Structure formats: C-alpha cells, structure tokens
Amino acid sequence: MDQIINKIKKLMAIAEDPGASDQEIQLATYRANKLMIKYKLTELELNESNNGDVIQKIIDQQYTGYLYWTFRNICKYNRVDAYYLGKINSKCQFKYVGYEKEIAICESIVVPILDYLERTIKELKECYVGDVDFRVYKRDYCRGFAKGIQQQLKNSFIDMNIDKKYELILTDLHPAVVDYVKTQMKIRTIKTNYISESEDAYELGLKDGSRYNLQDSNNKQQIDLNTLRSSLYE
C-alpha cells in the first residue's frame, strides 16, 4: 500500500507543478484519481502518518446488546470498525477500532444516542402492554431505530451532493484498519435466527431513528465531521 500511496503523491506533484503542460496535469490528475478510487483511498489517507496508529477502544459503560446495530451504523459512516463483546441479548461492551481522531468524532455522536436508547427502552418496558414478549419488542424496536439512523446517514451524503462512488470510499474502512483487524484481533461471531417478530416495534423504532436529531448529540463534532467530508470535494 505504501508504494501505491507514493505513486499517487508523485502524480499529484506533477499535477501541481507550475511547469507542467495542461495535458500532463490532466493525465496525472486522472491517473491519481483512478488509483485512489481503485484502492479506496482519500486525500486524508495520503497523509496517513499524521493520523497516528490504529487503536482499539472500549466504551466504559455497558449497553443492551441490541444497540450494537445503531452503534455499528454510526461507526461505519465515520470509517471506524465496530464490535461487541458478550451476548447480543444481554448487556455488552462495545468496541471501536480505527484512528484515534475518527474514534473521537464517532464517540461524540454514539454515546448520547446509546444513552438515549437505554432510557427509551426502560420507558417502553414500564408502559408496555402488548401480547408479544417484551424482549422481542425491544429487539425489533432497536432494529428499526438502527435502520432509521442508517437512512439519516445515507441522506447526509445526498444532501452534500456526494457521488455514489465517493460515498463508498468514505464509508469503507481505511486499509490500515482492515489490516489491523486481520492481524491483531481474534473475532468470533455467532449467527442468531429469530422466530418471533414485532412489526409494530420495528416501525416505531424506524420512526424514532429517522427523526432523531443527530446534531443534538454534539453539534460541534457533527459540523466538524461534515466539514471533513466536504473538504475532499472542494
């Protein structure tokens, strides 16, 4: 990967050379952009040495495992890998894997949402009178909420007029994070099949997730994140 990054930097240097002809500038820019798309690199990653090392970080507080779906969706749109430790139908620890700066941005958004969800689930349980087991209701509410948050995050790219191919680059993990996970982490996952479902709970969660104001979580960090994304296309 270092060889690819060096090649892109050399092409960009040609494109920025005042002595280069228009044809040389256009060709170098085209080749550099083509390599960046092929290897899913952004301009930020070309200066990866400034990002520090890839790290793991566990959230201090434990959360209901079903909140992992929301946690994972938010992490994805901040280019951070997400994991949970424990059984998904009980209290779990949530873990970030990524660059420290991006984890910090992600955490400022994630923690207020997870706290909000825990409070909401508690309130739902206190007033619940449905026929479906509340554990099923809780799970499907969390599924719906995660989907609503995901739709909001996707819409943020539409609002910023980001092309689909660049959206994929911005949501894919840094190659260094992928390498770190492969070489440094032992991951064991278990697939769970659900027999009972609550459509009402899912729809309620979807509605709540779709209208949750992400900027209220931490307005300054959200603006910084949008600025970071926008700068790639100026």
Kindly report, residue by residue over 164-206, the tens digit of the pLDDT.
666 666 677 888 888 899 888 877 766 666 778 899 999 999 9
CB 66, CB 88: distance < 8 Å: yes
Prediction pTM value: 0.71
Distance CA 10, CA 33 (A): 12
Confirm if 45 and 174 have CB atoms less than 8 A apart: yes
Dist CA 173 CA 196 (whole Å): 34
Count the residues in the chain: 234
pLDDT on residue 55:
93
